[in-house]
Amino acid sequence: MKRSSSRRHFIQQMSGTALALAAANSTLAFADQWQNRVDRYSRKISPNDKIRIATIGMGIMGYNDTNTALKIPGTELVAVADLYTGRLERAKELYGNNIQVTADYKEILSRKDIDAVIIATADLWHARISIDSLKAGKAVYCEKPMVHEISEGLGVVDAWKKSNKTMQIGSQRASSLGVLKAREAIKNGSIGQLAMVVANFDRQSALGAWEYTMPTDASAATVDWKRYIAGMNNEPYDPKKFFWWRNYRAFGTGVAGDLFVHLLTGINVITNSKGPEKIYASGQTCYWQDGRDVPDVMAGVMQYPKTADHPEFQVMLRVDFISGNSESGGTQFIGSEGVLTLEGDGYSIRHHKMSKAPGIGGWDALETYPKKMQDELLKTYNQKWSAADQRDQTEPDTVFRAPDDFNADVEHFGHFFEGVRAETPLIEDPVFGFRAAAPCLAANESYFQNKIIHWDPVNMKLADKLL
Single-letter code of the amino acid located at 296: D
Alpha-carbon distance of 12 to 324, in angstroms, equals 38
Asked if the model's pLDDT at residue 34 lies above 60, the reply is no
Secondary structure element (H or E) that encloses residue 197, with its range:
strand 194-202
| Distance, CA of 139 to CA of 330 (rounded, Å) | 32
Lowest-confidence pick of 17-21, 293-297, 302-306, 375-379: 17-21
For residue 425, whether the previous peptide bond is cis, meaning omega lies within 30 degrees of 0, is no
* Mean of pLDDT values over 303-320: 97
Q: Where are the alpha helices (DSSP H) in 103-202?
A: 105-109, 126-135, 153-163, 177-187
CA neighbor of 134 nearest in space, from 437, 433, 459, 430:
430
Would you state the pLDDT for residue 22?
Answer: 43
pLDDT at residue 273 above 50? yes
Euclidean distance between CA atoms 79 and 58, whole angstroms: 11
**Cα distance from N-terminal residue to C-terminal residue, the chain:** 59
Q: Is the pLDDT of residue 268 over 70?
A: yes
The pLDDT score that the predictor gives to residue 33 is 54
Residue 334: DSSP 8-state: E
In the predicted structure, residue 242 carries a pLDDT above the cut 80: yes
Torsions phi, psi for 347 (to 5 deg): -155, 165
pLDDT of res. 347: 96
For 215, 411, 419, the CA distances from 423, given in Å and listed in that order, are: 41, 17, 5
**Burial class of residue 74, CB neighbours in 10 A (0-12, 13-18, 19+):** middle
Put the strands of the sheet holding 453-456 in their side by side order: 393-401, 346-353, 338-342, 328-335, 194-202, 313-320, 297-304, 278-284, 453-456, 461-462
Confidence bin at 269 (pLDDT 50/70/90): very high
Residues 98-113 have a mean pLDDT of 98
Angle (nearest 5°) at CA 36 between 34 and 37 = 65
Residue 139 gets the label, from left (phi > 0), alpha (psi -120 to 50) or beta, of: beta
Q: Are 256 and 199 in contact (CB under 8 A)?
A: no
Confidence of residue 199 (pLDDT cuts 50, 70, 90): very high
Per the prediction, the chain carries an average pLDDT of 91
What is the greatest pairwise CA distance in the chain? 93
pLDDT score, position 303: 98
CA angle 252–286–295, rounded 5-degree value: 20
Is the predicted pLDDT of residue 114 greater than 50, yes or no? Answer: yes
Give the DSSP letter of residue 169.
Answer: E
As a whole number of angstroms, the distance between CA 166 and CA 153 comes to: 17
Annotate 68-93 with DSSP letters as a single string: HHTTSTTEEEEEEE-SBHHHHHHHHH
Q: Per-residue pLDDT tens for 45-80?
A: 777 789 999 999 999 999 999 999 999 999 999 999
DSSP 96: -
**Distance of alpha carbon 147 from alpha carbon 162, whole angstroms:** 18
Question: 411's torsion region: left (phi>0), alpha (psi -120 to 50) or beta?
Answer: alpha
Mean pLDDT (whole number) for 235-263: 97
Neighbours of 319 (CB within 10 A): 25
DSSP tag of 257: I
| Position 418 pLDDT exceeds 70 | yes
pLDDT at 46: 72
Q: What is the pLDDT of residue 37?
A: 58
Residue type, 186: I
Alpha-carbon span 20 to 24, nearest angstrom: 9
Phi, psi of 214 (to 5 degrees): -85, 140
The yes-or-no verdict on residue 27 having pLDDT over 50 is: no
| Per-residue pLDDT, 326 | 87
Closest CA to 268 of 358, 173, 345: 173
Strand 100-102, strand 75-81: pairing? parallel
**Between residues 44 and 210, the one the model is more confident about:** 210
Which pLDDT score is estimated for 354?
92
Residues, the chain, total? Answer: 467
Query: d(Cα 287, Cα 204) in Å, to the nearest integer?
Result: 10
Count of CB atoms within 10 A of residue 241's CB? 20
> 10 Å Cβ neighbour count for 431?
19
At 344, the pLDDT band (50, 70, 90 cuts) reads: confident
| pLDDT attached to residue 24 | 42
For residue 80, the tally of other CB atoms under 10 A from its CB is 28
How many beta carbons lie within 10 A of that of residue 395, not counting itself? 13
Q: What is the band of 285 on the pLDDT scale with cuts at 50, 70, 90? A: very high
Q: Is the pLDDT of residue 3 over 70?
A: no
Average pLDDT over residues 111-136: 98
pLDDT at 32 over 60: no
Task: Say how many C-beta atoms besides its own lie within 10 A of residue 172's C-beta.
Answer: 22
Alpha-carbon span 414 to 168, nearest angstrom: 11
- 451 pLDDT more than 60: yes
pLDDT digits (tens, 9 = 90+) for 430-439: 999 999 999 9
